[in-house]
Structure 1
Amino acid sequence: MSTTFSVRPASPHRPVRLGLRENWLQFTLLVVVNACVGGLVGLERTTVPLIGAETFHLTSDLAVFSFIIAFGVTKALTNLAAGALTARFRRKQLLVAGWLVGIPVPFALAWAPAWEWIVAANVLLGINQGLTWSMTVNMKIDLVGPARRGLATGLNEAAGYASLGATALLTGYLATAYGLRPAPELIGVVFVVTGLALSLVVRDTAAHVALELAQHPAGKEQSPGPWPTFVRTSRRNRSLRGASQAGLINNLNDGLTWGVFPLLFTQHGLGLAAIGLIKGLYPLLWGFGQIPTGHLADRIGRKPLIATGMLVQSAGFVLALALLDRPLLAGIASAVLLGLGTATVYPALIASVSDQAHPAWRANALGTYRFWRDLGYAAGAVVAGILADALGLNATIVAAAALTAVSGIAAARLITDRTAH
């Protein structure tokens, strides 16, 4: 079921309407764009921690994970800025700018002469991901209207993370055949060229935002501005606060596994192809699983999926340690539960934030939520690096399991479902 309204024409022959069916072509283009966004970051999932340890001979786990810290902090800040920037620039302009920033990334990963270059490339990658991913999800929500937010965000995230997983799997096999560099990283050139080309073609969604504002049952509302929205989303609104903390812990898990799993399973005898399978399976399930869970979030509400998904992720970490004497089985079992748990949580969280925010300040609210969520990448890398250096890699898995379970319980207490209208 789609919501259909008319407003002033976007062109002399095409009125603006909200709904997935009414905007299927633009929606599909944005799905492909976000597949390219996810593929670009997927270049790093299997090989970069091993490049730090084996190519540049870094001995500290915290030093190896520094590229994730750079990525996470930069992406989080860019997410926050992206919400504010939508007041001055159109979403399409920011989408194109994100791709232009990302052009050097695959070349730097492939031929960086020093580890500092890898870290610098991840600063650019964080800006690229913050702008492109933020704009694709905002534009999809703009197109479909309030009745299909869960499905729209599910499809958006599915495209990004399925591509991320497939790329992680592919880079593992390329690294086995051709070495850690440069072949695995150069497939990123395809993602940059395709993503930029399609972003130049897709139409902006400003007219769709105007239509939803005109039809919003709460009436017109002025945006309170970036800082008041940041405070409302982070602290004052109980439900938004619950979603933000769950998002942070969710991506803390991802940042932790990004750095820890390649090193952990290498220590237990697995090769690059097997590690690529583990690192690819997790985001593949995370990606494709969001299509049904996004739809389910529209039917049964956001909170049940968020709380359940966090607890499933916690169980995934427990399995990684419980089965570690059979490392391939441990990695696959953990990846399955982490992937399914994250798929359950991810679209429901974005849809929950969208439900709570008026269209006039929704972009800033989503930017704030995504700031806290993606700051989790950096938090996960810092926690993992400190614990791994002090207590070993296993201790980081225990900490992640405990934090995730507590976060799921907190989400169940804080988040209030608001039925989409």
Structure 2
Amino acid sequence: MPTLQHGIHANLAQILHQLLQVFLVGLTIGMTRTVVPGLAETEFGLGGQQFFLLTTFVVVFGAVKAVMNLFAGRFSDRFGRKRVLITGWIAALPIPFLLLYAPNWGWVVAATALLGINQGLCWSMTLNSKLDMTHLNQKGLVNGLNEFSGYAAVALAGVVTAWLVDVYGARLGLFLFGTTVIVLGLVLAVLVVKETRPWALAHVKETPPNLPLSGEGQETDHSLRSSPDKGRLGGVSSPSLGQAFLYASWQNRNLLALNQAGLVEKFTDALVWIILPVWFVSQNLTLVQASSIIGIYALVWGASQLITGPASDRFGRKPLIVGGMWLCGIGVLLLVLTESVWLWTLEAGLIGFGMAMLYPTLGAAVADVSPPAQRSTLLGVYRFWRDFGYAVGALSMGLLAQWAQGLDVTFWLVGVAMLLSGAWVALAFTKE
């Protein structure tokens, strides 16, 4: 068996296949981003003031995806990345049919539950696989490439599906687009993608064997070093999922700061997903116009990560995370304070760039303090909290909007939360 080599250049063909996979995953979620909220009333019978019901599909998506993220890393360490990837695509197969034949909003919620499974398993595996194959000092670049591919696809799918809805109607347009993308993703995952777990095990051999689970001299490290079966790397023993979850979610100061930032930044994306299409339509924009503005957000987010991902490798994680959180918070507040299409477009780009600063950097920062043997598990814990932010944010926005009988209050909720979360990272995150 040939010796495995790490690095982007040495594994370029397979990394390109993985980038295509995450592009297809991005197309799958992107088809729901503008069309479903924008047509909730006309196609699925939601009245204009049923704000809480409108948010339910993202609440379910976030909860399901969060759980899938938590277990995806563990499953991939036990059963391999490729099997988990294929399972995620199989889970997505019913989605276009549910949207095509949906008699009520409950079917849309069920479809987005399956979408959460697909996203939690497939997006996680594309990133884990690329991290497996590349050098440890390429984490920021790899995260940037991964998120660029995925969110460029989200932007493209939003615009394309809005156009297909104009031509074929909402249900048929989503069905044609979704079926094509999902089947292609599954076929390529089965036939082309390689299992990359061996590359991850090769990383373990390059790492000193008896380091604590996450950390470098932290006060809480003793909790995972207190017995021979806890907190060991590179050997037979390893922490359980419960131990890793508790450690990353509460005991480790750096991981706690990163996890809360991941959770809160999803408030911004939930706002863009649920609230902005409806809010723009209420400002007398067409669905295609709304999709185009929202597409700018996703496109800037995706493309800018080609810069911000490598920049975090060179200049450190903390400045980009904190700056990105604050830039998003300011951009969200400006949206509700302005009334011009051009300003909304500029502000959407501003928020997208803020997300590009923080998004790949958060994942890379978690990987920085994660030993290779447990990296997938700890990234899974981070992704659990990050995507649980969809559920927390959507639920909070839905309840607040229902209480206020208007959408403007949700912008203030998200903007202030982003500013405060960035301040937490600025004060608590100590590892560069």
What TM-score does the superposition give when structure 1 sets the normalisation length?
A: 0.93
Percent identity between matched residues is: 38
Aligned equivalents of 2:171, 2:179: Cα separation in 1: 14
User: Could you tell me which residue of structure 2 aligns to residue 109 of structure 1?
Assistant: 99
CA shift, 1:111, in A, is: 2.7
Matched, 1:320 2:308: no
CA contact (8 A) 2:45 2:105 kept: no
SS at match of 1:270: coil
SS at match of 2:170: coil
The within-5 A match list for 1:214-363 is 214-217=205-208, 220-221=234-235, 222-324=237-339, 326=340, 328-363=341-376
User: Could you tell me which residue of structure 2 aligns to residue 412 of structure 1?
Assistant: 426
Aligned equivalents of 1:25, 1:381: Cα separation in 2: 39
Instruction: Give per-residue Cα distances to partners, 1:228-248, cap 9 Å, x unaligned.
Output: 111111111111111111111
Aligned equivalents of 1:87, 1:311: Cα separation in 2: 35
User: Could you tell me which residue of structure 1 aligns to residue 217 of structure 2?
Assistant: none
Aligned equivalents of 2:388, 2:79: Cα separation in 1: 24
Aligned equivalents of 2:333, 2:59: Cα separation in 1: 25
Instruction: Give per-residue Cα distances to partners, 1:351-375, cap 9 Å, x unaligned.
Output: 0000101111111100000000001
Q: Which amino acid aligns with 2:418?
A: T
User: Could you tell me which residue of structure 1 aligns to residue 401 of structure 2?
Assistant: 388
Aligned equivalents of 2:127, 2:430: Cα separation in 1: 22
User: Could you tell me which residue of structure 1 aligns to residue 182 of structure 2?
Assistant: 192
CA contact (8 A) 1:176 1:272 kept: no
CA contact (8 A) 2:305 2:356 kept: yes
CA shift, 1:330, in A, is: 4.1
User: Could you tell me which residue of structure 2 aligns to residue 27 of structure 1?
Assistant: 15
CA shift, 1:189, in A, is: 1.6
Matched, 1:371 2:384: yes
Instruction: Give per-residue Cα distances to partners, 1:273-296, cap 9 Å, x unaligned.
Output: 101102211111111111111110
CA shift, 1:185, in A, is: 4.1
CA shift, 1:186, in A, is: 2.1
SS at match of 1:202: coil
**Structure 2 residues not aligned, in runs of 5+:** 211-233
Aligned equivalents of 1:274, 1:267: Cα separation in 2: 12
CA contact (8 A) 2:77 2:197 kept: no
CA shift, 1:184, in A, is: 3.6
CA shift, 1:218, in A, is: 5.1
CA contact (8 A) 2:150 2:302 kept: yes
CA shift, 1:55, in A, is: 1.7
User: Could you tell me which residue of structure 2 aligns to residue 128 of structure 1?
Assistant: 118
CA shift, 1:183, in A, is: 1.1
User: Could you tell me which residue of structure 2 aligns to residue 36 of structure 1?
Assistant: 24
Instruction: Give per-residue Cα distances to partners, 1:39-94, cap 9 Å, x unaligned.
Output: 00001111111332222221311101111111111000110111221242111100
Q: How many residues align?
A: 404
Matched, 1:398 2:412: yes
User: Could you tell me which residue of structure 2 aligns to residue 150 of structure 1?
Assistant: 140
| 2:57 maps to which of 47, 58, 67 | 67
What TM-score does the superposition give when structure 2 sets the normalisation length?
A: 0.91
Instruction: Give per-residue Cα distances to partners, 1:150-194, cap 9 Å, x unaligned.
Output: 001110111111101110111222223333332144211221122
Q: Which amino acid aligns with 1:109?
A: L
CA contact (8 A) 1:71 1:123 kept: yes
Q: Which amino acid aligns with 1:367?
A: G
CA contact (8 A) 2:143 2:360 kept: yes
User: Could you tell me which residue of structure 2 aligns to residue 181 of structure 1?
Assistant: 171
Tell me which stretches of 4 or more aligned residues in structure 1 moved more than 4 Å. Answer: none
User: Could you tell me which residue of structure 2 aligns to residue 3 of structure 1?
Assistant: none
Aligned equivalents of 1:254, 1:23: Cα separation in 2: 32
Aligned equivalents of 2:169, 2:296: Cα separation in 1: 21
Aligned equivalents of 1:416, 1:106: Cα separation in 2: 45
RMSD: 1.3
| 2:201 maps to which of 202, 210, 228 | 210
Aligned equivalents of 1:259, 1:316: Cα separation in 2: 17
